[in-house]
């Protein structure tokens, strides 16, 4: 295995008292307390990376909106000359290609000049591998290890990219070292992304939920870290992909002409009466109604749908709906495997009748045995 890597994304944040801040996306009467606390007005861009085989830099940013002139006019090369920029705006993120392999840029902001040094490309470390990408904040390290171990054993996972969103319980190095103990992984990268996650409150019809970070990070992975990977699974720490026929979800995505697998997601619960957070292997129970949550995906980065963008619950926009759901592969969404970060959802208690599910019991018995044998859980 390659030595695990940790890095901090190369972004640029405006001062809170800057005369130029991102405009609000909601009128005053719709700016809830959660919105006011979490809406990102200050991040100009999240990351800038060199891509040698394309001869360019890739900048990934929240929607630029009114800050577009500030960025395009203020960003210069090392000799203070204007840059050739190709900007693509999406509803929740912006990506910019900068022509040329610049080692250093300068940003002429409202009050000061800042030097920006693009980071080195990390795509080669994941080239040709089956990879998973996720965001993390303070999930217990044994949960992260169990999540990776399951997908190594069930689906031949080889590479893990985690965007760490400001964890305080441990460092990115701690997280990378914990993952390095999972047998079978070939490449690990923990990228520190300590930017505002965005609001999680309800949206009205026609509104865009301003949670920019996760879609932006997925498309940063698509355009940078994982662009040379064989296949990529988008799967949170509280989600495990089961295989009913022994096949790999990565093989399914890589074998499709459109290069994507559409994965149904169903809740699973720990034993009735559970009051607090629980690891994945405690989730052996289901409601008789088998309640769904939004679908997830596995994709081949060079596939047709991938070229149209990665989002949390789909790739390629409306065309993704034409992709028949997998029946051999299903995501188990572990309800109580949560740190309780969401202000509007009680994730540690299940409502209604629960029954122990034989399929889940067999899966979780095996996972619990493995994590304990490896010393991931006592």
Element (H, E) at 218: helix 213-223
Element (H, E) at 293: strand 292-299
Its pTM stands at: 0.94
Residue 378 located in a structural domain: no
DSSP letter at 81? Answer: -
pLDDT, one tens digit per residue, over 60-91 is: 999 999 999 999 999 999 998 999 999 999 98
Q: Are 266 and 333 in contact (CB under 8 A)?
A: yes
> For residues 302 and 287, what is the distance between their CA atoms, to the nearest angstrom?
38
| 116, 147, 164 - which closes a domain | 116
Residue 1 located in a structural domain: no
> For residues 254 and 105, what is the distance between their CA atoms, to the nearest angstrom?
38
Residues 277, 184, single domain; the answer is yes
Residues 277, 159, single domain; the answer is yes
Residues 86, 210, single domain; the answer is no
For tokens 């400001």, name the residue. Answer: 166
* Residue 349, pLDDT score: 59
Residue 4 located in a structural domain: no
- How does DSSP assign 303-348, residue by residue? STGGGG-B-SS-BSGGGGGGSPBPSSEEEEEETT-S----TT---S
Q: Residue 36's domain spans which residues? A: 9-116
> For residues 65 and 139, what is the distance between their CA atoms, to the nearest angstrom?
33
> For residues 281 and 293, what is the distance between their CA atoms, to the nearest angstrom?
19
* Residue 344, pLDDT score: 46
Element (H, E) at 366: helix 358-373
Residues 289, 364, single domain; the answer is yes
Residues 148, 247, single domain; the answer is yes
Residues 90, 73, single domain; the answer is yes
For tokens 């760490």, name the residue. Answer: 164
* Residue 348, pLDDT score: 55
Residues 37, 132, single domain; the answer is no
Residues 95, 135, single domain; the answer is no
| 69, 85, 116 - which closes a domain | 116
Percent of the chain with pLDDT over 70: 96
Q: Are 268 and 201 in contact (CB under 8 A)?
A: no
Tell me the β-bridge partners of 297.
234, 262
Phi, psi of 45 (to 5 degrees): -150, 155
CB count in 10 Å sphere of residue 346: 11
The tally of domains found in the chain comes to 2
Residue 3 located in a structural domain: no
| 63, 96, 116 - which closes a domain | 116
- CATH (domain of 136): 3.90.550
pLDDT, one tens digit per residue, over 270-317 is: 999 888 899 999 999 999 888 899 999 999 999 888 888 899 998 987
Q: Which residue stretches of the chain have pLDDT < 50? A: 343-344
* Residue 276, pLDDT score: 83
* Residue 88, pLDDT score: 95
Residues 319, 174, single domain; the answer is yes
């Amino acid at each position: 295995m390659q030595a695990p890597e940790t890095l901090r994304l190369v972004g640029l944040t405006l001062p809170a008292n800057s005369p130029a801040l991102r405009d609000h996306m909601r009128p005053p009467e719709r700016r809830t307390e959660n919105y006011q606390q979490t809406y990102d007005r200050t991040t100009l861009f999240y990351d800038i990376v060199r891509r040698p085989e394309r001869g360019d830099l890739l900048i990934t940013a929240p929607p630029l909106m009114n800050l577009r002139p500030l960025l395009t006019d203020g960003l210069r090369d090392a000799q203070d000359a204007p840059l050739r920029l190709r900007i693509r705006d999406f509803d929740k993120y912006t990506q910019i290609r900068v022509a040329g392999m610049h080692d250093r840029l300068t940003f002429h902001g409202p009050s000061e000049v800042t030097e920006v040094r693009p980071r080195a490309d990390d795509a080669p470390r994941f080239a040709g591998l089956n990879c998973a990408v996720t965001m993390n904040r303070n999930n217990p390290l044994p949960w992260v290890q169990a999540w990776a171990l399951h997908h190594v054993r069930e689906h031949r996972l080889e590479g893990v990219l985690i965007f760490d969103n400001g964890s305080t319980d441990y460092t990115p190095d701690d997280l990378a070292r914990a993952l390095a103990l999972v047998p079978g992984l070939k490449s690990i990268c923990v990228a520190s992304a300590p930017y505002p996650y965005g609001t999680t409150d309800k949206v009205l019809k026609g509104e865009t939920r301003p949670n920019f970070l996760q879609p932006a990070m997925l498309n940063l992975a698509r355009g940078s870290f994982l662009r040379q990977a064989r296949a990529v699974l988008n799967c949170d720490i509280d989600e495990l992909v089961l295989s009913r026929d022994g096949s790999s979800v990565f093989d399914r995505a890589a074998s499709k002409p459109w290069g994507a697998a559409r994965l149904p997601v169903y809740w699973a619960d720990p034993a009735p009466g559970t009051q607090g957070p629980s690891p994945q292997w405690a989730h052996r129970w289901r409601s008789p109604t088998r309640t769904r949550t939004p679908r997830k995906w596995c994709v081949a980065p060079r596939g047709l749908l991938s070229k149209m963008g990665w989002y949390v619950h789909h790739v390629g926009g409306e065309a993704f709906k034409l992709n028949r759901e997998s029946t051999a592969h299903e995501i188990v969404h572990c309800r109580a495997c949560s740190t309780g970060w969401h202000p509007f959802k009680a994730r540690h208690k299940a409502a209604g009748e629960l029954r122990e599910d034989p399929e889940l019991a067999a899966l979780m018995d095996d996972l619990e045995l493995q994590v304990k044998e490896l010393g991931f859980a006592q």
